[in-house]
Amino acid sequence: MIGPAGENLVKFAGIRMSDYERFAGRGGVGAVMGSKLLKGILVWGTRDLSKELVDKAKFMKVNSDIVKRIATHDTTKVLHKYGTNVLMNIVQSIGALPHYNFGGTGKIADVTPVSEEYIKDHYPTETHGCYNCPIACTQMPTVKSGPFKFSVTEKYVKQEYENTWALGPNVGSTDPEANLRFQKLANELGLDTISLGNTLSMAIELAKNGKLNLDIDWGDAGSLEYLIHKIAYRDGIGDELAEGDYRLAVKYGMPQLFVGSRGQGLPAYDPRALKGFALAYYTANRGGDHLEAYTPTWEIFGVPEKVDPFCETQECIEKQARIVKWNQDLFAVVDSTIFCKFENLMPNIDTEKDFADLYNAAFGWDLTPQDVLTTGERIFNVERLHWVREGKWVKDELPPRMREPIPDGPAKGHTASKMFDEGIKVYYKLRGWVDGKPTRDTLKRLGLEEFEYLL
């Protein structure tokens, strides 16, 4: 269902799923439902899908093997204990955590108060998981006292790393109680937390530049809470902010402050320090997306191979381009299958082989791991053809702020320029694209000739 934000056509409204506050958050899909006067969708079913498996015994064996490997891995133990927000101190430690709208105004020295290690030590927290999940990473903290306390009916909030960053360091705050309150408000009102944080940080920066008549400063919890309500109901200044960070920056004549791609702001990793994102972010079909290819998998965790996130040699550039393409193709299938991406963080997992085995057992097919990746490549190319059809945002571009060096910290002096400028050439060659568009030869190779009319 959608909340007031979707009803009021906020450009970054989301769709809330389940009692655990999971969201189809990005891209404004909540506003699409609101535009159709659709409040929610109730789904139920009666088919026993297990009876439709071609080889049920084999399917269950493959599934059981995957679950055992996931359940016994160290990554699972950490995710179960701390959830995704275990990344807060890790990403900060390598200089890749954005602060103040990715700006050049320095870094917050210590983000420990909004790390999961701190929050679990100081606030009552329940742990939940998706249906039948062997990881169960969902952290649900609450605040029981003080100005940001939760009411009896509110209980807990589903907390994640992206939410915590977007409504914390990104807006200049490390107040854990204010942060949890902002996440709860966003979930109740139906707002994408990443875009909400990006929009609030954009508003603060525009105000400090004298462009937006708004009395607010970094970390001003009272004003931020006030604006979240205003945005959801498009009330007063909230009507402008409801258009999102990109349109806000353009309206006030400072488009250079926008850090994103295809009109959507970036998540919680600075591509000047995690350079794989210099390619992954700006080639992502959805724009501003860390989940079409998640580069910390190899830059931090070393899966499928370790890549130095600061390295900009030609060898590193070519390696990053190759792995980004692989991950995009793989994740296109993972998303289509409604499968958790966390499996891909574990070295003892071969996701494309596991998928081939599952599909073959379920449908009697004879897929190879490469067939799985080719399927993902076909999906990714068809997605890109959306932008070709729309005639805008086809070209992959790096925003100006990402060409400015990081001013301090472990990644001081680094930019995303070289990785993007040189890497995009390698990437396009691997994809068979020219200036962001698939060629006819590429569509023919992938069996997508039916879409040639779009070129």
Nearest to 328 by CA among 398, 365, 375: 375
Q: Do 225 and 317 sit in the same domain of this protein?
A: no
Q: Where residue 452 sits, what CATH number does that domain have?
A: 1.10.599.10
pLDDT of res. 106:
57
Q: Do 66 and 97 sit in the same domain of this protein?
A: no
Helix, strand or coil, per DSSP, at residue 51: helix
- Full-model pTM: 0.96
Residue 429 lies in a domain: yes
pLDDT digits (tens, 9 = 90+) for 217-266: 999 999 999 999 999 999 999 999 999 999 999 999 999 999 999 999 99
- Side-chain-side CA neighbours of residue 282 (13 Å): 28
Nearest to 84 by CA among 281, 232, 291, 235: 291
User: What spatial distance separates the first Cα and last Cα of the chain, rounded to whole Å?
Assistant: 37
Residue 9 lies in a domain: no
Last residue within a domain, chosen from 192, 223, 258: 258
Q: Which of 7-16, 345-354, 385-394 has the lowest mean pLDDT?
A: 345-354
Which sign does the torsion angle of CA 55, 60, 65, 67 carry? positive
Q: Where residue 218 sits, what CATH number does that domain have?
A: 1.10.569.10
Domain around 121: 93-258
Residue 142 lies in a domain: yes
Q: Do 312 and 247 sit in the same domain of this protein?
A: no
Residue 368 lies in a domain: yes
Q: Do 389 and 302 sit in the same domain of this protein?
A: yes
Q: Determine what percent of the chain is predicted with pLDDT higher than 70.
A: 99
Distance (Å, whole) CA 148 – CA 404: 37
- What's the gap between Cα 295 and its chain centre? 11
Residue 121 lies in a domain: yes
Distance (Å, whole) CA 294 – CA 350: 16
pLDDT digits (tens, 9 = 90+) for 80-117: 999 999 999 999 999 999 999 998 555 788 999 999 99
19 band by pLDDT with thresholds 50, 70 and 90:
confident
Q: Which residues contact 299 (CB under 8 A, 6 or more apart)?
A: 274, 275, 276, 307, 308, 309
Structure tokens at 10: 């906020």
Q: Do 296 and 434 sit in the same domain of this protein?
A: yes
pLDDT of res. 104:
59
pLDDT digits (tens, 9 = 90+) for 116-165: 999 999 999 999 998 889 999 999 999 999 999 999 888 999 999 999 99
Residue 300 lies in a domain: yes
Last residue within a domain, chosen from 223, 258, 293: 258
pLDDT of res. 108:
87
Domain count, the chain: 2
Distance (Å, whole) CA 242 – CA 234: 6
424 compared with 302, residue with greater pLDDT: 424
Residue with tokens 């691997």: 430
Distance (Å, whole) CA 402 – CA 103: 9
Phi, psi of 411 (to 5 degrees): -105, 20
Q: Do 318 and 200 sit in the same domain of this protein?
A: no
Last residue within a domain, chosen from 231, 258, 285: 258
Distance (Å, whole) CA 69 – CA 349: 7
Q: Do 169 and 296 sit in the same domain of this protein?
A: no
3-state per-residue secondary structure call for 70-83 = HHCCHHHHHHHHHC
Q: Do 102 and 251 sit in the same domain of this protein?
A: yes
pLDDT of 170 above 60: yes
Q: Do 103 and 226 sit in the same domain of this protein?
A: yes
Q: Do 173 and 279 sit in the same domain of this protein?
A: no
Strand partners, 24: 15
pLDDT of 293 above 90: yes
Mean pLDDT score, 355-377: 97
DSSP code of 151?
A: P
pLDDT of 392 above 90: no
Structure tokens at 405: 């060096």
Q: Do 114 and 175 sit in the same domain of this protein?
A: yes
Helix, strand or coil, per DSSP, at residue 36: coil
Q: Do 243 and 129 sit in the same domain of this protein?
A: yes
